[in-house]
Amino acid sequence: MHELSIATAIVERATELARRHDAAGVEAVRVRVGEMSGVVPDALRFSFEVAREGTVVESARLVVEEVPARARCAACEKEFAVGTPPFLWCPHCDSPTTRLLSGRELEITVIELAEATA
């Protein structure tokens, strides 16, 4: 399960940011996960709970934005949902396409820090 290594990297990045800003902890981490990224959102959520134990991220929640895979046809320029398993054939003009617009994302978008108590 590679989601555990991804979750560990997320926790490490959030911990680093919290330390750099002298934060009391981390309240939330928001990530974008593309449909074709190879990451299973539920497995990432579970792995995050395991990886955060004993860290400043321990009470943080993981907010996952699932990004659908979309493509644009090179022939007719129309956009369409790729789906899973991916189908890279235009439903409008029946042409093959490989121009993905979204669906491969795997990124941290926001790390919400808790204010340090005086």
The token duo for 70 is 């979309």
pLDDT tens digits, one per residue of 41-73: 999 999 999 999 999 999 999 999 999 999 999
Q: Which residues of 98-112 are buried (b: 16+ CB within 10 A; e: fewer)?
A: eebebbebeeeeebe
pTM for the predicted model, two decimal places: 0.87
- Determine the average pLDDT of the residues in 96-116: 91
Side chain identity, residue 87: F
pLDDT tens digits, one per residue of 10-48: 999 999 999 999 999 999 999 999 999 999 999 999 999
Side chain identity, residue 75: A
